[in-house]
Structure 1
């Protein structure tokens, strides 16, 4: 059983991440990718910028891996989050999980993205076409102000 967790500034590589979790004993690999979209609340988004305290972000991502292992029979887990500038249509996070059967990996990948968005300290700034910008919180964040 392996956990691969990374927070990086360069473009995420889907093929590399899925190959990290591929296993001859597993019939399923479930993948979830967050792509940057070009709009939010009627504003045109040009790019996004992510910041993180990398040691804490990775620690929390490993905690999510352990929570997944406590709930489902999965073999390998890979999570990579991008920081820095992330252009529209590029991935900011990829999560891949392998399991002997599809049910476990599908449920685990859903849990993974929901939990990562809620507990991993990563901050995002949307930069709009008119050059204005705004720091955003995930609505799932436990530290989100009311």
Structure 2
């Protein structure tokens, strides 16, 4: 998020960070006088995946490219949904169970646009931004993959869950 005449309380947010995500701080800075709806999505590390207990995740990114692409995704969403606020931040490095790995906040005059934009932004981040994760399991094993694991459900690296859902609407 950047400071503008429309949102004077906005703060500069690094799209990629190795620090814990400050959910209360980001949410506090995301209120806007024109917005009647603020939607916050927090992608948290869960304690299980693939039938195994997860110890933690570790994320890597091509930081410059990832940050630039997130900024482009946010700008596209700002225009398409007339967003008052659009924020996205993704962690890199070690992220423990129950910690936020990614957050997206959108604010608009009405809830429909805030929800639609938020979903669009997180789907594009997970499927297009050069971020990779390694899941470390309690049994000592680990699994590297992209930020998207839709292929485990759809059977194709080129078919994403959100694309299937759009076709079914």
Q: What is the TM-score of this pair, normalised by structure 2?
A: 0.79
Offset at residue 101 of structure 1 (A): 1.2
Whether the 8 Å contact between 2:73 and 2:124 is mirrored in structure 1 is: yes
* Equivalent position of 1:139 in the other structure: 149
One of 87, 93, 113 as aligned partner of 2:122: 113
Higher strand content, 1 or 2: 1
Structure 1 unpaired stretches of 5+: none
Judging changes above 3 Å, is the alpha-carbon distance between structure 1 residues 42 and 99 closer, same or farther for their aligned structure 2 residues?
A: same
Greater length-normalized contact order (CA 8 Å, ≥ 6 residues apart): 1
- Counterparts of 1:24-63 in structure 2, within 5 Å, are 24-63=33-72
Offset at residue 57 of structure 1 (A): 0.6
Which has the greater radius of gyration? 2
Offset at residue 20 of structure 1 (A): 2.4
Whether the 8 Å contact between 2:61 and 2:92 is mirrored in structure 1 is: yes
Offset at residue 70 of structure 1 (A): 3.1
Inter-partner Cα distance in structure 2 for 1:19 and 1:122: 27
Inter-partner Cα distance in structure 2 for 1:76 and 1:119: 21
Structure 2 unpaired stretches of 5+: 3-11, 152-156, 160-169
Q: What is the TM-score of this pair, normalised by structure 1?
A: 0.90
Whether the 8 Å contact between 2:59 and 2:91 is mirrored in structure 1 is: yes
1:98 aligns with 2:98: no
The alignment partner of 2:21 has SS state of: coil
- Name the Cα RMSD after superposition: 2.0
The alignment partner of 1:21 has SS state of: coil
Inter-partner Cα distance in structure 2 for 1:113 and 1:86: 18
